[in-house]
Structure 1
Amino acid sequence: MRKKVLEELDELKSASEATSDDRKPIELDQQSVGRLSRMDALQGQAMATASHQRRLHRITALEAALQRMEDGEYGLCIECGEAIAPRRLEIDPAAAKCIRCAAL
Structure 2
Amino acid sequence: MDPEDARAALEQRRAALLHEDRVDEQARAPVELDQESVGRLSRMDAMQVQQMARALEQRRKAERARIDAALDRLAAGEWGYCVACGDEIARPRLVHDPSVSHCIKCAS
TM-score range, shorter chain: over 0.9
- TM-score of the superposed pair, with normalisation by structure 1: 0.96
Separation in 2, partners of 1:80, 1:24: 43
Give, as a single letter, the amino acid of the residue that structure 2 aligns with 1:71: A
Alpha-carbon shift at residue 87 of structure 1 (Å): 0.6
Equivalent position of 1:69 in the other structure: 74
Gap runs ≥5 in structure 2: 1-5
- TM-score of the superposed pair, with normalisation by structure 2: 0.93
Percent of residue pairs identical: 45
Separation in 2, partners of 1:28, 1:94: 42
1:99 is aligned, of 101, 104, 107, to 104
2:42 is aligned, of 26, 37, 42, to 37
Alpha-carbon shift at residue 80 of structure 1 (Å): 0.3
Equivalent position of 1:58 in the other structure: 63
| Aligned CA-pair RMSD | 0.7
Moved over 4 A (4+): none
Alpha-carbon shift at residue 33 of structure 1 (Å): 1.3
Q: Which whole-Å deviations, capped at 9, do the CAs of 1:18-66 have from their partners, x for residues lacking one?
A: 1111101111222331100100100100111111111111001001000
